Amino acid sequence: MTELATAKLSVKALRRSYDNTHAVSDIDFQINQGEFVVLLGPSGCGKSTTLKMVAGLETPCSGSVELDGRDITHLPPGKRQLAMVFQSYALFPHLSVAENILFGLKARRTPADIQQSRLADVVALVNLSDHLHKKPSQLSGGQCQRVALARAIVAEAPLCLMDEPLSNLDAKLRNDMRAELRAIQRRLGMTLLYVTHDQVEAMSMADQIILMNQGEIVQSGSPQALYNNPASTFVAQFIGSPPMNLMNADNLILGVRPEHIHRDINGYPASVVTCDYHGADTIIEVELHDFDQQRIKLRHPGHLTLVPGSAFPVSWEKQYEHYFSCSDGQRINAPQTHSTHQTTTSEMTHVQAL
Ligand code: ADP
Ligand code: MG
């Protein structure tokens, strides 16, 4: 497959209102060539509106969209050199898989030999070589999604936009497709702006996450940065499952992640409320006697059966405490520098020394 053209997207101060209410405002971000960027947030927070303004399907009230330094804010969609994949695959039912994939190239009168060579490459990539002559009605949901994906890839557009492309698929297929999509994006060096409300999807695929709430960006950064250093209680609870525990403590909000809390005979007195076995681990909810009976969840590796009401004292290390303001929920303590999920350099040295 030929090299993709370079693409650097720059979105500046985008704003869009409907009937005097802000759908989105102050949207600023950049995407570098080859990056997989996820716009994440709850339903109605403005993800699709933002994506549509990048695509040219919505007109911003103010702000700009630049692709490689070129202002494309007011260009029609067809002139932006973008490929798009939507939640509804938007396939033509009367056309075959091959015709669906090549539809855009035919419309642009790409020479037939180039069409055929790109088709062969892309169907091998998305595993559709045996289905070229079928109609969409003869395909499974996952195969339809791959046709939509192939149609976007074959365009070799500098920037590809996807709006919840996997949300119609069942859980197992969605998992497989995530891994496939990420692999294809890496192999081709695609620059991808991907919308989802699913934090697991964002965490597992993104180079960079842009987290939105109520029409604004609340934090952007790598998945690790958002997980380890949430900028607010909203971020702390949106990313991670179960979410970070938040406790009222001395006019502050104290946050601790479930995996950082453990049983400790000398810890805070607490008793078991619920105990849910999840296979790899058990999620235990306890009531803290010294903290107004506030409830928190902790993650215990492996299987554990506990009787509700039984004593389960807990503690956590100071380094895993996050503090937020009671008034606006913003983070108060300095960003944590330790990494909770990666092997530290000293651990690696130790492993090598063994
Ligand atoms: P998301 O994709 O994050 O679920 P949207 O971008 O679709 O959210 O919507 C953001 C907000 O803008 C919502 O409050 C939605 O109701 C509103 N909105 C979106 N499109 C329109 C429209 N065409 N007319 C009026 N309001 C709209
Ligand atoms: Mg949407």
Q: Reduced to 3 states, what is the DSSP secondary structure of residue 319? A: helix
This prediction's pTM: 0.89
Q: What is the pLDDT of residue 344?
A: 40
Is the CB of 77 inside a 6 Å radius of any atom of ligand 1? no
Token pair in block for residue 13: 């101060």
The Å distance, Cα 319 to ligand 1 centre, comes to: 40
Question: 250 CA distance to ligand 2 centroid (A)?
Answer: 39
Superfamily of domain 9-228: P-loop containing nucleotide triphosphate hydrolases (3.40.50.300)
Q: Residue 349 pLDDT more than 60?
A: no
Report whether residue 220 contacts ligand 1, using a CB cutoff of 6 Å. Answer: no
Of residues 38 and 6, the one with the higher pLDDT is 38
Domain segments of the chain as ranges: 9-228, 242-352
Query: What's the 177 CA to ligand 1 centre distance in angstroms?
Result: 27
Q: Which protein residue's CA is at the shortest distance from atom 1 of ligand 1?
A: 44
Cβ 331 vs Cβ 338: under 8 Å: no
Q: Which residue is closest in CA terms to ligand 1's atom 11?
A: 23
Nearest alpha carbon, ligand 1 atom 12? 23
Summarize pLDDT for 290-343 with one digit per residue, the tens.
889 999 999 999 999 999 999 999 999 999 999 999 999 999 987 776 554 444
pLDDT at 1 > cutoff 50? no
Q: Closest Cα partner for 138 from 151, 147, 125?
A: 147
- The pLDDT tens digits for 180-191 are 889 889 988 899
Q: Helices then strands (H, E): number in the chain? A: 9, 18
> pLDDT tier at 347 (50, 70, 90 boundaries)?
very low
Amino acid at 75: L
Instruction: Give me the CATH topology for the region 242-352.
Output: OB fold (Dihydrolipoamide Acetyltransferase, E2P) (2.40.50)
Of the two residues 167 and 131, the one the predictor is more confident about is: 131
Q: Whose structure tokens read 């306890």?
A: 286
- Tokens representing 102 are 């090549």
The model's confidence at residue 4, banded by pLDDT at 50, 70 and 90, is low
Q: Bridge partners of 276?
A: 283
- 49 CB near ligand 1 (under 6 Å): yes
* Ligand nearest to the Cα of 86, by number: 2
First to last CA, the chain: 44
For a ligand 1 pocket test, name from 22, 38, 48, 49 the mutation site with the most ligand atoms within 8 angstroms of its C-beta.
Answer: 49
Give nearest CA residue, ligand 1 atom 6: 46
Tens of pLDDT, residue by residue over 220-236, are: 999 999 999 999 999 99
Residue 163 confidence class, pLDDT cut points 50, 70, 90: very high
Query: Percent of the chain beyond pLDDT 70?
Result: 93
The pLDDT value given to residue 338: 55
Q: What is the per-residue pLDDT for 6?
A: 65
The tokens 């990494």 sit on which residue? 339
Q: Report which ligand 1 atom has the smallest distance to the Cα of 215.
A: 10
> What percent of the chain is predicted at pLDDT more than 90?
71
User: Which has the higher per-residue pLDDT, 156 or 160?
Assistant: 160
Residue 21 near ligand 1, beta carbon < 6 Å = no
In which element (H, E) is residue 70 found? strand 70-71
Q: Which residue has the higher pLDDT, 89 or 349?
A: 89
pLDDT, tens digit, 9 for 90 and up, residues 260-277: 999 999 999 999 999 999
Pairwise pLDDT comparison (199 vs 168), residue with the higher score: 199
**pLDDT: which is higher, 6 or 196:** 196
The amino acid at residue 47 is: K
The tokens describing 309, both together, are 């009401």
- Mean pLDDT taken over the chain: 90
Q: What is the pLDDT of residues 113-133, one digit of tens each?
A: 999 999 998 898 888 999 999
Place of tokens 């790409």: 110
Q: Indicate if the pLDDT at residue 60 is higher than 70.
A: yes
Per-residue pLDDT at 350 exceeds 50: no
Lowest pLDDT segment from 50-59, 139-148, 244-253: 139-148
- In this structure, the residue with its CA closest to atom 23 of ligand 1 is 18
| Type of residue at 251 | N
